[in-house]
Structure 1
Amino acid sequence: GGAQGHMAQGSMSDATPPEQTGHASCDLQEECESLRDRSAALEERNARLLDEIALLRSHCEVDAPHWAREVRHCAEQLQEIAAPLATVPLGAKLLVLVEGLQAAEVGLRAMGGAPLREELAELRTAFARHLNEGQAREAALRTETERLRAMLRGVGTSVATPAPAAEERGQSEARPAEPVPQEPGPPELRPEPPAPREPGPPELRPEQPSSQAPLPLEPAASLAEGSVEAGGDTAP
Structure 2
Amino acid sequence: MTEPLRVLIADDESLVRAGFRVLIDNEPGMIVVGEAADGATAVDLARQTQPDVVLMDIRMPNVDGLDATRRIAGAPDLAHVHVLILSTFDHDEYVIEALDAGASGFLIKNTDPAQLLHGIRVVAGGEALLSPGLTRRLVARLVDRSPNRQVNAKALAQLTEREREVAGLAAHGMSNEEIAEALSISQATAKTHISHAMAKLGARDRAQLVALAYRHRLVDPPGPAPPRP
Question: Same fold judged by TM-score > 0.5?
Answer: no
Give the helix-richer structure, 1 or 2: 1
Between structure 1 and structure 2, the one with the greater Rg is 1
| Higher relative contact order, structure no. (Cα contacts within 8 Å, ≥ 6 residues apart) | 2
Give the strand-richer structure, 1 or 2: 2
